[in-house]
Amino acid sequence: MNIHNIYRDVLGILANEQWQVLTIPSDFIKPEPLPKEWVRVSILVGPSTINKVSASGILMMEIFAEVGEGPMAYATIAANLRSIMAYKTFKNSDGDTMQLSDVTIGAPTVDKALPSFQQVKCSIPFNHYGVT
């Protein structure tokens, strides 16, 4: 089990018709020009929780929307994120299973690195089980 497998599965979950937002893993370079709305994904694996067949941690989703677009820009994305991922279990073709808990949605703040964007952090606790 490694973090690459978890990223692969998360991005696979978001590669569906319901999710229409550009989604970028945290270590990728942001696209230029930036769209009005986009999401950055990070995976935090808990200490001593990763082994050969399972891992648990928190999936961090940062929603970015241009300042001035109003609260519906990020609220719509957050609601869609919750409908796709909250309390869901997904199984990939390799037999790995990802169980997600509820989505916690934070308050909007202006992003320090990109002041023309407001940012809303969402967190989703997860358990990921692989096959040996």
Sign of CA dihedral 47, 26, 15, 88: positive
Provide mean pLDDT across the span 11-22: 82
Give the pLDDT confidence score for residue 31 in this predicted structure: 72
Report in angstroms the alpha-carbon separations of 101 from 9, 13, 57, 62: 15, 14, 11, 17
The rounded distance, in Å, linking the Cα atoms of 117 and 66 is 4
Q: What is the pTM of this model?
A: 0.84
Residue 42: HSE in the Cβ half-sphere, 13 Å Cα cutoff: 10
CATH class of 3-129: alpha beta
The answer on pLDDT for 131 being more than 70 is no
**Residue spans per domain, the chain:** 3-129
Give the pLDDT confidence score for residue 52 in this predicted structure: 65
Provide mean pLDDT across the span 81-110: 90
Provide mean pLDDT across the span 80-91: 91
The rounded distance, in Å, linking the Cα atoms of 87 and 46 is 19
SS3 13: helix
The two structure tokens encoding residue 9: 């599965």
pLDDT bracket for residue 47 (50, 70, 90): low
